[in-house]
Structure 1
Amino acid sequence: MAKKPVTTRSGRFFRLAGMTASVAGQYAGQRARRIFRSDEDNEGARSESYTRMADQIVDTLGELKGAVMKVGQIASQTQDFLPKEFSDALERLQKEAPPMPFEVIVGQVESELGKPVSELFEYLQEKPYAAASIGQVHRARLHDGTDVIVKVQYPGVDESCDSDLKQLRMALKLGGLLRMPKEHVDQLFGEIRVRLKEELDYENEARNLELFQSFHANDDWVVIPKVFESHSSRRVLTMELVEGDHISEVTPEKYDQDTINLIGHRIFTMMADQLFRYQCIHGDPHAGNFAYRPDGTIILYDFGCVKKLKPEIVEAYRNALISALEEDYAALDQHLIALGARVESQPAVDEAYYAMWRDILIQPFRSDTPYDFADSELHKDVAAKTTTVFKYLDYFKPPVESIFIDRMIAGHYWMMKRLGVQAAFREELEKYLRQSPD
Structure 2
Amino acid sequence: MHLPRLALLPPFLRELLARRTLRREPETALVMDDPTEVDAYVAGGHTPTMAGTYLFMNAHTTQTVPGCRAVLDLGCGPATLLCQIAAMNPSIHFTGVDLSAPMLAEARKTVQRHRLDNVRLVQGDITRLTDFGTASFDGVISSFALHHLPRREDLDRCFGEIKRVLRPEGALFINDFGRLKSVKSVVHMAYLTSRDEPYLFTLDKERSMRAAFTLDDFRALAKRHWGDRIEVRGTFKVPLVVLLRTPPRPLPESVAEEFRARREARPARERSDLDDLRFFFRLSGVTEDPFGPFSPLAGQIAKLRMLDFATLPVIGTVHTARVTRTVRILRLAARVLGLWALWRGGGFRRSAAARRRRFIVRLAAVLREDLGALKGPVMKFGQMASYLTEDLPRPLQRALRPLQRRSPPLDPAVIRRTVEESLRRPLGEIFAEWHDTPIAAASVSQLHLARLPNGRWVVVKVRYPGLLRAVKSDFFLLRCFAPLLRGLWGLPNARELLGELEELITTECDFQKAGAYQEEFRRAFADDPDMIVPRVYTDLTTPDVLTMDCVEGKTYEEFKASATPEQKNKAAEIVWRMAAVSINRHGLYNADPHPGNYLFVDGKVAFLDFGFTKRFLPAFLALWKEQSLAGCAADFERFRDVNRRLGYERPGRSMDHRAMYDTYRRVVYRAWMDDRSFRFTRDFVRQEIRSLLALQRGAKGALRMPVEFVAILRLLWGQHALLADLGAESNWHRIVFPLLKEPYTPV
TM-score, with structure 1 as normaliser = 0.78
Q: Answer yes or no: is 1:281 the counterpart of 2:603.
A: no
Question: 2-side partners of 1:22 and 1:230: how far apart?
Answer: 41
Match of 1:110 in 2: 420
Q: CA deviation at 1:107?
A: 2.3
Q: Please give the residue correspondences for 1:200-279 in structure 2 after superposition, counting only pairs within 5 Å.
A: 200-250=509-559, 255-279=563-587
Q: 1:21 to 1:238 in 2, by over 3 A?
A: closer
Question: 2-side partners of 1:342 and 1:54: how far apart?
Answer: 40
Question: 2-side partners of 1:337 and 1:289: how far apart?
Answer: 35
- More off after superposition, 350-359 vs 15-24: 15-24
Q: Please give the residue correspondences for 1:266-345 in structure 2 after superposition, counting only pairs within 5 Å.
A: 266-294=574-602, 296-345=603-652
Q: 1:324 to 1:226 in 2, by over 3 A?
A: same
Does structure 2 conserve the Cα–Cα contact (< 8 Å) formed by 1:327 and 1:355? no
Q: CA deviation at 1:315?
A: 1.7
Q: 1:131 to 1:21 in 2, by over 3 A?
A: closer
Match of 1:377 in 2: 683
Question: 2-side partners of 1:20 and 1:174: how far apart?
Answer: 18
The alignment partner of 2:543 has SS state of coil
Does structure 1 conserve the Cα–Cα contact (< 8 Å) formed by 2:482 and 2:494? no
Does structure 2 conserve the Cα–Cα contact (< 8 Å) formed by 1:137 and 1:150? yes
Q: Which amino acid aligns with 2:540?
A: H
Q: 1:178 to 1:5 in 2, by over 3 A?
A: farther
Question: 2-side partners of 1:176 and 1:258: how far apart?
Answer: 41
Question: 2-side partners of 1:352 and 1:176: how far apart?
Answer: 21
CA RMSD of aligned residues (A): 3.8
The alignment partner of 1:363 has SS state of coil
Q: CA deviation at 1:209?
A: 1.8
Q: Please give the residue correspondences for 1:60-75 in structure 2 after superposition, counting only pairs within 5 Å.
A: 61-70=371-380
Q: Answer yes or no: is 1:197 the counterpart of 2:503.
A: no
Match of 1:427 in 2: 734
Question: 2-side partners of 1:218 and 1:274: how far apart?
Answer: 14
Does structure 1 conserve the Cα–Cα contact (< 8 Å) formed by 2:598 and 2:607? yes
Question: 1-side partners of 2:560 and 2:485: how far apart?
Answer: 44
Does structure 2 conserve the Cα–Cα contact (< 8 Å) formed by 1:136 and 1:153? yes
- More off after superposition, 217-226 vs 330-339: 330-339
Q: Please give the residue correspondences for 1:131-210 in structure 2 after superposition, counting only pairs within 5 Å.
A: 131-170=441-480, 172-173=481-482, 179=488, 184-210=493-519
The alignment partner of 1:243 has SS state of coil
What do residues 338-384 of structure 1 show as CA deviations (whole Å, max 9, x unaligned)?
333442432241625632442233332254332223x4521122355
- More off after superposition, 396-405 vs 363-372: 363-372
Match of 1:401 in 2: 708
- More off after superposition, 70-79 vs 340-349: 70-79
Match of 1:35 in 2: none
Which runs of 5 or more structure 2 residues have no equivalent in the other structure?
Answer: 1-311, 338-361
What do residues 169-192 of structure 1 show as CA deviations (whole Å, max 9, x unaligned)?
32x358778646896122112212
- More off after superposition, 68-77 vs 353-362: 68-77
- More off after superposition, 232-241 vs 428-437: 428-437
The alignment partner of 1:437 has SS state of coil
Q: Please give the residue correspondences for 1:334-373 in structure 2 after superposition, counting only pairs within 5 Å.
A: 334-349=641-656, 351-352=658-659, 354-365=661-672, 367-373=674-680
Match of 1:48 in 2: none
The answer to which structure, 1 or 2, has the higher relative contact order (CA under 8 A, 6+ apart) is 1
Q: CA deviation at 1:144?
A: 2.7
Match of 2:291 in 1: none
Q: Answer yes or no: is 1:415 the counterpart of 2:722.
A: yes
Does structure 1 conserve the Cα–Cα contact (< 8 Å) formed by 2:316 and 2:414? no
Q: Which amino acid aligns with 1:277?
A: R
Does structure 2 conserve the Cα–Cα contact (< 8 Å) formed by 1:339 and 1:402? no
Q: CA deviation at 1:299?
A: 0.9
- More off after superposition, 240-249 vs 360-369: 360-369
The alignment partner of 2:589 has SS state of strand
Question: 2-side partners of 1:335 and 1:396: how far apart?
Answer: 14
Does structure 1 conserve the Cα–Cα contact (< 8 Å) formed by 2:382 and 2:400? no
Percent identity of equivalent pairs: 25
Question: 2-side partners of 1:251 and 1:18: how far apart?
Answer: 35
Match of 2:61 in 1: none
Q: CA deviation at 1:256?
A: 4.4
Match of 2:438 in 1: 128
Q: CA deviation at 1:275?
A: 0.9
What do residues 20-42 of structure 1 show as CA deviations (whole Å, max 9, x unaligned)?
59969x99xxxxxxxxxxxxxxx
Match of 1:101 in 2: 411
How many residues are paired up? 405
Question: 1-side partners of 2:690 and 2:469: how far apart?
Answer: 41
Which runs of 5 or more structure 1 residues have no equivalent in the other structure?
Answer: 28-51
TM-score, with structure 2 as normaliser = 0.48
Does structure 2 conserve the Cα–Cα contact (< 8 Å) formed by 1:280 and 1:307? yes
Match of 1:7 in 2: 318
Question: 1-side partners of 2:593 and 2:485: how far apart?
Answer: 30
Q: 1:288 to 1:114 in 2, by over 3 A?
A: same
Q: 1:104 to 1:389 in 2, by over 3 A?
A: same
Q: Which amino acid aligns with 1:337?
A: R
Q: Which amino acid aligns with 1:279?
A: G
What do residues 386-405 of structure 1 show as CA deviations (whole Å, max 9, x unaligned)?
44542213122333113212
Q: CA deviation at 1:99?
A: 2.1
Does structure 2 conserve the Cα–Cα contact (< 8 Å) formed by 1:272 and 1:432? yes
Question: 2-side partners of 1:4 and 1:257: how far apart?
Answer: 40
Does structure 2 conserve the Cα–Cα contact (< 8 Å) formed by 1:333 and 1:349? no
The alignment partner of 2:446 has SS state of strand
Question: 1-side partners of 2:387 and 2:631: how far apart?
Answer: 22
Question: 2-side partners of 1:344 and 1:78: how far apart?
Answer: 32
What do residues 134-165 of structure 1 show as CA deviations (whole Å, max 9, x unaligned)?
11001122233211111111111124432332
